[in-house]
Amino acid sequence: MNSYKIDGFDYCELYVSNAKQAAHFYHSTFGFYPIAYCGLETGSRDRVSYVLKQNQIKFLLTSPLNNNSEISKHIYNHGDGVKDVSFTVNDAEAAWKESIERGAESVRKPHLLSDEKGEAIIATIKAFGDTSHTFVQRNNYNGVFLPGYDVFENNLTGDPSGLIHIDHIVGNQPNGEMQTVCNFYEKVFGWHRFWTVDDKDISTEFSALRSIVMANDNEKIKMPINEPADGLRKSQIQEFIDYYNSPGIQHIAMTTKDIINTVSKLRDKGVQFLETPKTYYESLTERIGEIDEDLDQIEDLGILVDKDEKGYMLQIFTKPIQDRPTLFYEIIQRKGSNSFGKGNFKALFESIENEQKIRGNL
Ligand code: FE2
């Protein structure tokens, strides 16, 4: 039992080389809005951050303002990527203290942030590689993000794309490290193993992976942990590790209530998705039965469908959103199913392998 409660994902912080331009990208393609800002104008001397929001999803895009900070070193090592996955908690000090007692390494001790809008306490521990977890506790805080951030004034137009909340966030590990990281989440946070696949379930002619989904007690947090498995060629997980130079966050899955509408909008705005082979749709109805959505539209948009005993789910994956083949996004609509799309892994892998081949990494 934990002495504190995790309510859900809070924000994801990405270290990027040009936060101003990245903020524009997240607005113009995914339909996020910048709501808060800190930088030189607000008294932040070493970094600039934009908070981007859509419904319950928040991204913090951070760039360094000098060349010898941990932020610039992180970008030098990993390229643009996710630095921190934060959790909303009712007691950040207890969460930090308990994690440290159970073997986690501290990155930032609990400290109080305050401004005229109220107070928050944040604390950070190491997760895997250079990735960390921050505990966020707001006390009667009525600003838009956290103390220290100004409201970002803008006259941006355009509509949101219907992304609602974060469904899961996936961490890639080097071969042989998956169990160690899952043990860490069990020991430090008391999380449980929600779902597992091994290389017998998900392999193609060329590559394979193993994955364990870790979940907290209320299952609002789900973090699949992957590692590569031996195949004839290089696993996509190994390709990630090679370019990120360490374990790290591979993808963030965001939910929608209308995947056809959302993916149509994203495609119109220039988001690139992995291609689904046409053969995937030939026996789709046989595999999954009747669904509410129009199958022609599903096929046109390249959306994947999978089912389990509780229902079905629709999902699609973007191509990497920076030049290195590292971080990408998943768009997911759940209609009863809590699964992670095991039935889609083969089609998905074949599509990723095709991209790897074009990159010369297969
Ligand atoms: Fe996923």
Q: Tell me the CATH number at 26.
A: 3.10.180.10
d(C-alpha 10, C-alpha 3), whole Å? 19
Are residues 144 and 74 part of one domain? yes
Are residues 146 and 167 part of one domain? no
Are residues 272 and 140 part of one domain? no
How far is the centre of ligand 1, averaged over its atoms, from the C-alpha of 213 (Å)?
10
Are residues 235 and 263 part of one domain? yes
Are residues 253 and 175 part of one domain? yes
pLDDT digits (tens, 9 = 90+) for 5-38: 999 999 999 999 999 999 999 999 999 999 999 9
Are residues 232 and 136 part of one domain? no
Is 1 among the domain residues?
Answer: no
pLDDT score of 199 more than 80: no
Count of structural domains, the chain: 2
Are residues 123 and 246 part of one domain? no
How far is the centre of ligand 1, averaged over its atoms, from the C-alpha of 219 (Å)?
15
Better-scored residue on pLDDT, 155 or 111: 111
The H or E element that residue 306 is part of is strand 304-308
Domain boundary among 151, 172, 190: 151
Mean pLDDT of 205-212: 79
Are residues 124 and 209 part of one domain? no
Is 75 among the domain residues?
Answer: yes
How far is the centre of ligand 1, averaged over its atoms, from the C-alpha of 328 (Å)?
10
d(C-alpha 340, C-alpha 213), whole Å? 9
How far is the centre of ligand 1, averaged over its atoms, from the C-alpha of 97 (Å)?
31
Report pTM. 0.95
Is 157 among the domain residues?
Answer: no
List Cα–Cα distances, 15 to 22, 64, 128, 168, 169, in angstroms: 10, 8, 16, 20, 16
pLDDT score of 283 more than 90: no
Structure token pair of residue 138: 């707001």
Mean pLDDT of 241-268: 98
Q: Of 40-49, 208-217, 311-320, where does mean pLDDT reach its minimum?
A: 208-217
Q: Cβ distance 176 to 238 under 8 Å?
A: no
How far is the centre of ligand 1, averaged over its atoms, from the C-alpha of 218 (Å)?
19
Query: In the chain, pLDDT over 70 holds for what percent of residues?
Result: 97
Is 156 among the domain residues?
Answer: no
How far is the centre of ligand 1, averaged over its atoms, from the C-alpha of 318 (Å)?
11
d(C-alpha 317, C-alpha 344), whole Å? 11
The H or E element that residue 97 is part of is helix 92-101
Are residues 128 and 191 part of one domain? no
pLDDT score of 302 more than 80: yes
Is 345 among the domain residues?
Answer: yes
Are residues 321 and 292 part of one domain? yes
How far is the centre of ligand 1, averaged over its atoms, from the C-alpha of 253 (Å)?
6
Confidence of residue 81 (pLDDT cuts 50, 70, 90): very high
pLDDT digits (tens, 9 = 90+) for 304-339: 999 988 999 999 999 999 999 999 999 999 999 988
List Cα–Cα distances, 14 to 2, 26, 75, 255, in angstroms: 28, 12, 10, 19
Task: Report DSSP state, residue 42.
Answer: G
Confidence of residue 355 (pLDDT cuts 50, 70, 90): confident
How far is the centre of ligand 1, averaged over its atoms, from the C-alpha of 214 (Å)?
13
Better-scored residue on pLDDT, 203 or 330: 330
Query: In the chain, pLDDT over 90 holds for what percent of residues?
Result: 78
How far is the centre of ligand 1, averaged over its atoms, from the C-alpha of 307 (Å)?
15
Domain boundary among 84, 118, 151: 151
Is 65 among the domain residues?
Answer: yes
d(C-alpha 207, C-alpha 230), whole Å? 7
Is 114 among the domain residues?
Answer: yes
How far is the centre of ligand 1, averaged over its atoms, from the C-alpha of 98 (Å)?
29
Model pLDDT, residue 200: 67
Are residues 248 and 118 part of one domain? no
Confidence of residue 342 (pLDDT cuts 50, 70, 90): confident
List Cα–Cα distances, 285 to 79, 127, 132, in angstroms: 41, 41, 42
Mean pLDDT, the chain, integer: 93
Mean pLDDT of 60-88: 97
Full domain range(s) for residue 43? 6-151
Model pLDDT, residue 203: 61
pLDDT score of 78 more than 90: yes
Model pLDDT, residue 344: 83
User: Do you know the residue count of the chain?
Assistant: 362
pLDDT score of 201 more than 80: no
Domain boundary among 95, 126, 151: 151
Structure token pair of residue 345: 């892994």
Are residues 215 and 317 part of one domain? yes
Q: Cβ distance 249 to 225 under 8 Å?
A: no
How would you list the strands of the sheet with 47-54, edge to edge?
106-115, 118-126, 132-139, 81-89, 6-15, 57-64, 47-54, 33-38, 150-151
